[in-house]
Amino acid sequence: MLQRFWTVVVLVPLALATGQLPRQTNDGVHLAITPTCGTIGGTVANTNAGVSTSGMKTLVAFGDSYTSGGRSDGGPLPAAVLNGISPRAGGRVTDGPVWAEDIASDLGLTIMDYAVSGAVVNVTLWPSEAGHSDFVHQAALFFSQNNVLNPNTTLYTVFFGINDFSASSTDGDHLPEAAADLLALIKQLTSAPTNAKNIVVLDDYGRGTDAATGDAWKQAVFTGLGALHSTGINVAYVDFAPLLTAVMGTKPGFAAFGYDTVGPCIPNLSQTNLTGECGTPLNTFYWLPGHPSKETHRLMADYAELVLENCH
Ligand SMILES: *[C@@H]1O[C@H](CO)[C@@H](O)[C@H](O)[C@H]1NC(C)=O
Ligand SMILES: *[C@@H]1O[C@H](CO)[C@@H](O)[C@H](O)[C@H]1NC(C)=O
Ligand SMILES: *[C@@H]1O[C@H](CO)[C@@H](O)[C@H](O)[C@H]1NC(C)=O
Ligand SMILES: *[C@@H]1O[C@H](CO)[C@@H](O)[C@H](O)[C@H]1NC(C)=O
């Protein structure tokens, strides 16, 4: 409830215009930038071409560890709390709810989460990722369930690329194929029997770094979404790169967001206890290496909501 209140306050344009972002919740961590918007069909940027956030009932989420709520079959998620020992809240690779859960909670949606830690778009493209989950299998599981969801009230979110981009340094640049496969799977979602109408794609491929191959991946996905939009599908694109740049760099830098440290707070991704925890665990950008804290997830949700509200 507090989180929802906080978000509503942030969305008041006056608060943004005056830079008076409230800090009473989210442990003092708050957005210090406003997402810049672009236009569908143009250069890749934050865009909302027709996705409405009101009247929605269900959020279907595909992705990797950033989106995984600790269960990946669309069913109710485990409690998003630390148990005092493990650094992973209910199996999530973070210490609380992930961004998709925050958005679902803000909008009053039931979340159906299919995301799996380590997932890529199509694992066949990446020999070094053999055995990992992918969008191909997440979508196949979703389809196999024959879920009956009203397309008018269901929001589909698709957030891949981080593991594809990192695999490309080992396996070569198969990001063009990954972009094509991602778009083909989205196209399948928009076809019978699912007939999805509202698609939100999110990206953070380089987690603060960028490369020509990664930028081309983003542009290919964005251009494909533009083509999809011209067939009557509502699409939105959320680019987290400017948020990462703003936190990691000096304009304005992490402290302006209320962080004490970029982190990670827990030093090793594979550790199973809290040994080595940082001094200010509620004010760290990364919780585990490369993985946002629950406060950062809250920030990502706010950022995505601002894109949906403002970028159309
Ligand atoms: C979805 O909305 C359209 C347009 O308002 C309407 O024609 C259609 O019947 C709705 N579909 C369902 C399943 O409610
Ligand atoms: C996954 O990639 C392989 C290798 O390029 C390709 O043969 C296959 O069609 C792709 N699958 C999907 C669903 O895109
Ligand atoms: C992380 O922990 C694993 C298992 O304990 C260990 O093998 C690895 O070397 C550690 N990595 C770092 C960077 O300390
Ligand atoms: C934390 O886990 C490591 C192995 O990852 C182990 O060596 C250490 O004893 C554990 N610490 C505590 C306090 O349980």
| Tens-place pLDDT, residues 181-200 | 999 999 999 999 999 999 99
Per DSSP, 198 falls in state E
CB of 272 shorter than 6 A to ligand 4: yes
- pLDDT score at 19: 38
Residue 168 has phi, psi (to 5 degrees) of: -65, -20
H or E stretch including 221? helix 212-229
CB of 169 shorter than 6 A to ligand 3: no
Q: Is the pLDDT of residue 258 over 80?
A: yes
CB of 272 shorter than 6 A to ligand 1: no
Using the mean position of ligand 1's atoms as its centre, give its distance from the Cα of residue 178 in Å: 32
Q: Is the pLDDT of residue 1 over 70?
A: no
The token pair that represents 167 in the structure block: 């695999």
Task: Supply the residue whose CA is at minimum distance from atom 11 of ligand 3.
Answer: 268
Place of tokens 């830079």: 19
Using the mean position of ligand 1's atoms as its centre, give its distance from the Cα of residue 151 in Å: 8
CB of 295 shorter than 6 A to ligand 2: no
Residue 13 has phi, psi (to 5 degrees) of: -55, -35
Task: Please tell me whether the peptide bond between 292 and the residue prior to it is cis, using omega within 30 degrees of 0.
Answer: no
Task: Supply the residue whose CA is at minimum distance from atom 11 of ligand 1.
Answer: 152
Ligand nearest to the CA of residue 275, numbered in listed order: 4
Q: How far apart, in whole angstroms, are the C-alpha atoms of residue 258 and residue 278? A: 16
- pLDDT score at 296: 98
Using the mean position of ligand 1's atoms as its centre, give its distance from the Cα of residue 232 in Å: 14
The pTM is what?
0.92
Q: Is the pLDDT of residue 266 over 90?
A: yes
Determine contact, residues 115/69, Cβ cutoff 8 Å: yes
How sure is the predictor about 24, in pLDDT bands with cuts at 50, 70 and 90? Answer: low
Which residues touch 204 (CB under 8 Å, ≥6 apart)? 66, 159, 161, 162, 240, 241, 244
Q: Is the pLDDT of residue 11 over 90?
A: no
Which residues touch 119 (CB under 8 Å, ≥6 apart)? 63, 64, 65, 132, 133, 134, 135, 138, 160, 163
Helix, strand or coil for residue 287? strand
Task: Supply the residue whose CA is at minimum distance from atom 10 of ligand 1.
Answer: 152
CB of 275 shorter than 6 A to ligand 1: no
Q: Is the pLDDT of residue 15 over 70?
A: no
146-to-74, 115, 140, 143 alpha-carbon distances in Å? 12, 18, 10, 6
Determine contact, residues 205/162, Cβ cutoff 8 Å: yes
